């Protein structure tokens, strides 16, 4: 036994840097390398999903059918959503978590580095399979990302590929989430108490819990679709005693927590950035943590607000309406705290702060439209209209996506060791913000006027706003070329200091820029003081 | 040598197992999809994928076991593994929750509504006139034809006793491990997985009986769907759990575990208790009530 030990131990603790060539990435166990892969993958999916959105907006530029077949249009809406949700937004946050959480809690790496690698490398397989369905008989799935039966059962050859790619995404997310929880709970520097953890770490802890709780439920739901299709079960078949509506219940039991999975880490990023550039401690730090926990809890008991029109007992409608509106309370706490953090702060407006600020304003608009949708009698009018599309794009694009971009600009100098091009960053911000509003704000009006979602053609009364939205979408898409340029030239700027910004809070700013391959070999014994403590 | 392991966290080297696993999954998922779409070669592609995944699992675990036996893991790593396992089991619980949820929803909502309950008089009157909701049912369309229910007595009861007993035997084995009584440990551990395999055998027998004599099939409406999906996934988990216990048993024979270092044993035991608890739920809600 001791021989094995000696042999293995021999090269166990030499300071191994990255492996050479492709092996560094294929066999990676380093959280920074894996984080980088997550971020690059996510960005690639963001571009692919974005192109699909542009196909949609091209067709919708004018009334009538001009460019694509209606079937293909539906494939685009479905694939766009699946790719953006599971391929772009979620992996981007996991990438940020990989890079930042070990550094923020003073850990040498993620708790389970090999599993971390697997979580990532399942994703290209899942999306390779999903995207390949575009070339199959019957085309890609076209039932909407919600995969409602019986419609989804009409998918062609793509059907089993869709189901299994969703399974793979689930496996990847669950393993990633387990890793994050274990890292936070077990690898934290002993001197860092739970309440002292950075807010980004807190929000990710809660998010990871949500992921482990609901991704298996999605797996169950799509498994039932699979067996209904191929093995003759009757889960969603009324003749056999099942119910298609049951799918919607199971799906949204996953689906609503899922939308919070996409926004809680965004809250975390923004809560890191605003105090830095307001030069004030985060207002109501503890209440931020409690609010995020409340949101997570409530997110399990509101799912049927997606189903007000499908038929449900009145008591159910009332319950889900009130439960949904309750979420506005902790969400309001958060928005209030961000604003209070900035109150009388010595603010500067570097790119990360600009994105974070836009987040606060524009996410709140999405929150308000969500509240409108939560009102059952109103939702019966708004449901499946462009108003819903406006709502979720406000919370997801200037919400989640802006927070991701804010985070990337904020931490990029720590990753590369150089300042990015600030003027181009600002340009990227302003163009994105203008165009995102140009794209999605008119959709509120379209929805209220009655334009249904997921339809390739529309009545001429909707023409003007659609044209504006399409122009906005192309503008937004083109603006992202600036981001690509900024990222490609990220190492061309002036070298970054260790703190990068003006006295930011957190362990990650105490290590060199770029952060060394292995950050903390032993946990840091003294933590930098929180800003609250500095002021007290 | 040991001193290192105590104060520094073990960060493993690059590993090729994860990508091998991903390749295996790729073959598996693509293969099974092609096969389900009706072309037989897919089956072989799937099998190739399964083989790759098995190769990956054994290789990966061999690495981990070597590292563990080589005392490269300190208490903190051990705790990471423990937490990881517990959260994994939680994810499994939620997977079963989806199917239990389907059972409760169908039984307490969907089926009564089809029978006209609540405000669904016209659903029943127009669509399924004459259907009276009952449980078990294969729905108003009598999908799958007449069938008989699997009662709670007989085999299912015996299986319940078997699994509950196996929970006791594994606990005895655990105590023996802590007390350093190797003989009792290996005997009771062996008893545990043997009981597990007997359970699976009886379950298979029950399935044959259901298919041949009761006309109770996966295709027997919602009752057959929930019955076979719940018991089927449970059976798969028992199989996996029993195989894990078997591997642990071989490791016990090799003297791998000590009084205070036996994470793998405990993980297997937790997993076993988990399948046991799921079974109790199944027995109550699927067979009995
Ligand atoms: C302020 C809290 C929120 C409330 C009260 C709320 C409420 C709602 C309601 C009632 C609907 C259903 C509309 C319908 O289909 O008729 C809905 C849809 C949606 N919400 Fe929210 N929401 C909130 C926040 C969010 C957040 C933070 C996200 C994601 C980051 C989000 C993403 C979505 C998505 C993706 C849909 C559409 C799903 C679909 O049908 O495809 N929501 N929301
Ligand atoms: Cu929702």
A254-304 residue pLDDT tens: 999 999 999 999 999 999 999 999 999 999 999 999 999 999 999 999 999
> How many residues belong to chain B?
289
| pLDDT at position B217 | 96
Provide mean pLDDT across the span A429-439. Answer: 98
| pLDDT at position A37 | 98
Provide mean pLDDT across the span B85-97. Answer: 98
Q: Is the CB of A306 under 6 A from ligand 1?
A: yes
Provide mean pLDDT across the span A373-402. Answer: 97
- Is A220 within 8 Å of chain B by CB? yes
How would you class A111 by CB atoms within 10 Å of its CB: exposed for 0-12, middle for 13-18, buried for 19 or more? buried
Ligand 2 mean position, distance from CA A253 (Å): 9
Ligand 2 (single-atom ion) residues, CB below 5 Å: A 256
pLDDT of A134 > 90? The answer is yes
| pLDDT at position A15 | 52
Q: Is the CB of A324 under 6 A from ligand 1?
A: yes
Instruction: Count the helices and strands in chain A (H runs, E runs).
Output: 18, 0
CA-based nearest distance B33→chain A, Å: 5
| pLDDT at position A6 | 36
Q: Is the CB of A396 under 6 A from ligand 1?
A: yes
CA-based nearest distance A221→chain B, Å: 7
Ligand 1 mean position, distance from CA A300 (Å): 13
Q: How confident is the model at residue B4 (pLDDT cuts 50, 70, 90)?
A: very low
| B22 → closest Cβ in A122, A174, A182 | A122
Q: What CA–CA distance (Å, rounded) separates A318 from A322?
A: 6
- Is A37 within 8 Å of chain B by CB? no
Q: Is the CB of A259 under 6 A from ligand 1?
A: yes
pTM above 0.90, yes or no: yes
Cis peptide before A514 (omega within 30 of 0): yes
DSSP state of B135: S
Q: How confident is the model at residue A220 (pLDDT cuts 50, 70, 90)?
A: very high
Ligand 2 mean position, distance from CA A324 (Å): 8
Three-class DSSP category at B138: coil
Q: Is the CB of A266 under 6 A from ligand 1?
A: no
ipTM: 0.95
Q: Which atom of ligand 1 is nearest to the CA of A144?
A: 41
pLDDT of A1 > 50? The answer is no
| pLDDT at position B72 | 85
Ligand 1 atom 1: residue of nearest CA: A367
Q: What CA–CA distance (Å, rounded) separates B114 from B104?
A: 15
How would you class B228 by CB atoms within 10 Å of its CB: exposed for 0-12, middle for 13-18, buried for 19 or more? buried
Q: What share of residues in chain B are helix, strand, coil (percent, to 5)? A: 75, 0, 25
CB contact under 8 A, B87 and A238: no
| pLDDT tens track for A160-187 | 999 999 999 999 999 999 999 999 999 9
pLDDT of B8 > 90? The answer is no
| pLDDT at position A232 | 96
pLDDT of B5 > 50? The answer is no
CB contact under 8 A, A161 and B229: no
Task: Check if the beta carbon of residue A400 is closer than 8 Å to that of residue A450.
Answer: no
CA-based nearest distance B57→chain A, Å: 12
Contacts of A129 (CB under 8 A, 6+ apart): A161, A164, A165, A168, B26, B29, B30, B33
Q: Does the domain made of B1-73 have the CATH classification 3.10.450.50?
A: no
H or E segment to which residue B85 belongs: helix B75-105
| pLDDT tens track for B153-210 | 989 999 999 999 999 999 999 999 999 999 999 999 999 999 999 999 999 999 999 9
| pLDDT tens track for A148-162 | 999 999 999 999 999
| pLDDT at position A10 | 38
| pLDDT at position A14 | 43
Looking from the CA of A97 toward its CB, the CA atoms found within 13 Å total 34
Q: What CA–CA distance (Å, rounded) separates A290 from A288?
A: 6
Where along chain B do its domains lie? 1-73, 74-288
Task: Check if the beta carbon of residue B271 is closer than 8 Å to that of residue B89.
Answer: yes
| CA dihedral for A201, A203, A206, A207, sign (positive or negative) | negative
| A160 → closest Cβ in B16, B33, B111 | B33
Ligand 1 atom 6: residue of nearest CA: A370
What positions of A carry a catalytic annotation? 80, 109, 145, 172-173, 256, 258, 260, 271, 305-306, 331, 334, 453
Percent of chain B whose pLDDT exceeds 70:
97
Percent of chain B whose pLDDT exceeds 90:
86
| pLDDT at position A16 | 60
| Mutation target vs A (from B24, B25, B26; most A CBs, 10 A cutoff) | B25
Q: Which atom of ligand 1 is nearest to the CA of A383?
A: 16
Q: Cα B252–B254–B259 angle (5° rounding)? A: 50
CB contact under 8 A, A27 and B118: no
| A233 → closest Cβ in B19, B119, B225 | B225
Mutate to test the pocket of ligand 1, among A298, A305, A375, A397 (most ligand atoms within 8 A of CB): A305
Candidate from A8-12, B29-33, B226-230, B270-274 with smallest mean pLDDT: A8-12
| pLDDT at position A521 | 80
pLDDT of A408 > 90? The answer is yes
CA-based nearest distance A176→chain B, Å: 11
Greatest Cα pair distance in chain B? 79
CB contact under 8 A, B30 and A129: yes
CB contact under 8 A, A8 and B70: yes
> How many residues belong to chain A?
536
Q: What does the mean pLDDT of chain B come to?
A: 93
Mutate to test the pocket of ligand 1, among A269, A371, A392 (most ligand atoms within 8 A of CB): A392
Provide mean pLDDT across the span B61-69. Answer: 92
Residue of B nearest to A19 (CA): B14
What CATH number was assigned to the domain covering residues B74-288?
1.20.120.80
| pLDDT at position A524 | 84
């Amino acid at each position: 036994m001791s021989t094995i030990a000696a042999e293995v131990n021999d090269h166990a603790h030499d300071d191994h840097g990255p492996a050479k060539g492709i092996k560094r990435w294929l066999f990676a166990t380093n959280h920074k390398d894996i984080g980088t892969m997550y971020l690059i993958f996510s960005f690639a999916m963001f571009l692919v999903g974005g192109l699909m959105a542009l196909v949609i907006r091209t067709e919708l530029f004018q009334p009538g059918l001009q460019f694509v077949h209606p079937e293909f249009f539906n494939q685009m809406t479905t694939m766009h959503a699946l790719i953006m949700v599971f391929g772009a937004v979620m992996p981007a946050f996991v990438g940020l978590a990989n890079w930042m959480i070990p550094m923020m809690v003073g850990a040498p790496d993620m708790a389970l580095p090999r599993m971390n690698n697997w979580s990532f490398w399942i994703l290209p397989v899942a999306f390779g399979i999903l995207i390949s369905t575009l070339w199959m008989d019957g085309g890609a799935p076209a039932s909407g990302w919600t995969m409602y039966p019986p419609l989804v059962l009409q998918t062609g050859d793509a059907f089993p590929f869709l189901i299994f790619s969703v399974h793979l995404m689930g496996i990847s997310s669950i393993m990633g989430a387990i890793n994050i929880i274990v890292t936070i709970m077990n690898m934290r520097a002993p001197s860092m108490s739970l309440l002292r953890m950075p807010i980004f770490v807190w929000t990710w802890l809660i998010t990871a819990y949500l992921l482990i709780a609901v991704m298996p439920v999605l797996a169950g739901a799509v498994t039932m679709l699979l067996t209904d299709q191929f093995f003759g079960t009757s889960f969603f078949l009324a003749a056999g005693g099942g119910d298609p509506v049951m799918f919607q219940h199971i799906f949204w039991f996953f689906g609503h927590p899922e939308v919070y999975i996409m926004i809680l880490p965004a809250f975390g990023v923004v809560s890191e950035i605003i105090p830095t550039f307001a030069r004030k401690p985060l207002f109501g730090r503890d209440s931020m943590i409690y609010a995020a926990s409340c949101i997570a809890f409530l997110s399990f008991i509101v799912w049927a607000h997606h189903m007000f029109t499908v038929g449900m007992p009145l008591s159910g409608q009332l319950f889900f309406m009130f439960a949904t509106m309750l979420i506005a309370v902790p969400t309001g706490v958060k928005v209030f705290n961000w604003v209070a953090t900035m109150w009388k702060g010595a603010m500067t407006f570097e790119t990360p702060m600009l994105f974070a600020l836009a987040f606060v304003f524009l996410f709140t608009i999405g929150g308000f439209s969500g509240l409108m949708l939560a009102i059952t009698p109103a939702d019966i009018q708004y449901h499946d209209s462009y108003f819903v599309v406006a709502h979720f794009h406000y919370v997801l694009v200037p919400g989640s996506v802006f927070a991701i971009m804010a985070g990337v600009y904020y931490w990029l100098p720590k990753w590369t060791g150089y300042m990015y091009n600030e003027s181009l960053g600002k340009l990227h911000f302003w163009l994105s913000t203008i165009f995102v509003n140009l794209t999605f704000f008119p959709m509120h009006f379209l929805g209220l006027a009655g334009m249904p979602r997921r339809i390739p053609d529309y009545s001429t009364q909707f023409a003007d706003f659609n044209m504006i939205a399409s122009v906005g979408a192309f503008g937004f898409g083109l603006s992202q070329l600036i981001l690509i340029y900024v990222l490609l030239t990220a190492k061309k700027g002036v070298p970054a200091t260790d703190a990068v910004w003006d006295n930011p809070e957190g362990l990650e700013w105490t290590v060199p820029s770029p952060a060394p391959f292995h950050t903390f070999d032993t946990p840091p014994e003294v933590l930098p003081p929180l800003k609250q403590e500095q002021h007290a | 040598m040991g001193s290192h392991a105590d104060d520094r966290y073990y960060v493993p080297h690059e590993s090729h197992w994860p990508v091998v696993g991903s390749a295996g999954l790729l073959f598996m998922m693509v293969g099974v999809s092609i096969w389900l779409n009706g072309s037989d070669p897919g089956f072989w592609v799937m099998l190739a994928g399964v083989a790759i995944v098995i190769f990956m699992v054994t290789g990966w675990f061999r690495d981990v076991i070597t590292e563990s036996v080589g005392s490269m893991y300190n208490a903190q790593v051990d705790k990471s593994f423990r937490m990881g396992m517990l959260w994994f089991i939680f994810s499994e619980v939620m997977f079963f929750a989806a199917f239990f949820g389907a059972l409760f929803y169908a039984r307490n909502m969907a089926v009564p509504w089809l029978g006209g309950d609540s405000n669904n008089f016209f659903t029943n009157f127009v669509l399924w006139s004459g259907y009276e909701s009952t449980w078990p049912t294969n729905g108003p369309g009598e999908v799958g034809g007449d069938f008989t229910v699997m009662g709670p007595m007989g085999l299912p009861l015996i299986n319940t006793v078997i699994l509950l007993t196996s929970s006791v035997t594994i606990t005895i084995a655990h105590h023996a491990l802590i007390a350093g009584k190797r003989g009792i440990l290996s005997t009771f551990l062996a008893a545990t997985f043997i009981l597990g395999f007997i359970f699976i055998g009886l379950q298979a027998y029950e399935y044959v009986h259901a298919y041949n004599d009761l006309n109770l099939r996966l295709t027997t409406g919602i009752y057959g769907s929930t019955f076979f999906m719940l018991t089927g996934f449970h059976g798969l988990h028992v199989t996996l759990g029993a195989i894990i216990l078997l591997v642990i048993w071989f490791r016990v024979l090799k003297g791998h575990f000590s009084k205070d270092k036996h994470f793998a044993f405990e993980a297997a035991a937790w997993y076993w208790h988990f399948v046991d608890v799921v079974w109790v739920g199944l027995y109550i809600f699927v067979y009995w009530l």
